[in-house]
Amino acid sequence: MNIVLLGPPGSGKGTQSKKIAERYNLAHISTGDLLRDAVANNIDVGIDIKAYLDVGKLVPDEVISKLLQIRLSAEDVRNGYILDGYPRTLAQAYLLESFLRLDVVLLLDADYKYILNRITTRSVCSGCKATLSDSQLINNLCPICGSTTFKRSDDNEQTFSKRFQVYEELTTPLIDFYKTKGILKSVDGNGGVEEIFDKIKVILDGVTK
């Protein structure tokens, strides 16, 4: 089973991707991880990826395409994969079509106010790196390992508003693109992690039958 997971920033794509990958024995592929691994392992794709990342520039689509093709040749992808947050634009979607076959595109459909409240009331553990709701903290300490917690610098309304606007401009056209192909499945993303995952399981269990 080959899956793409779409959704606005802060909608929980990373969390749900990991849960999906574990339940259905799929490779979890994040383009961010691909780029970091390429830099760490000096993978030659014709450009200096680190130079792009160091100045905050977007890595060309063709480069990410090459990295994906390399990743998809790995042994752990034989049972399928889930692409976490990629493609982000129509251009990337068209490029992927040349070498990817998708079974389903999941859309985590969460609204602006819900996500904004979620990200502005969360903290990250400095020890185990868990992302936690502020209501879970015990005297501002992580309830899992007892370490101190901190707020991510980009977990604020101004930054989120900009990211959400970019998402609407560049990524929402993908919704109609995949809907036309008949493989888009929308999931209500306004809820807790397990509540959302239960809805995803209903969809994917139907795909695998």
Q: Looking at 13, 66, 71, 118, which residue is catalytic?
A: 13
Residue located via tokens 């101004």: 158
The secondary structure element, H or E, covering residue 36 is: helix 31-40
How far apart are the two ends of the chain, measured CA to CA in Å?
11
Residue type, 31: T
The yes-or-no answer on residue 71 being catalytic is: no
**Is the Cβ–Cβ distance between 3 and 82 less than 8 Å?**
yes
Q: Looking at 18, 36, 151, 163, which residue is catalytic?
A: 163
| Neighbour tally for 84: CB within 10 Å | 24
Tokens representing residue 179 in the block? 């809907």
Q: Looking at 18, 36, 50, 88, which residue is catalytic?
A: 88
Q: Is 192 exposed, middle or buried (0-12, 13-18, 19+ CB in 10 A)?
A: exposed
Nearest to 119 by CA among 4, 6, 14, 5: 14
Gap between the Cα atoms of 6 and 12, Å rounded: 10
Residue type, 100: L
The yes-or-no answer on residue 88 being catalytic is: yes
The yes-or-no answer on residue 23 being catalytic is: no
* Active-site annotation, residues: 13, 88, 122, 152, 163
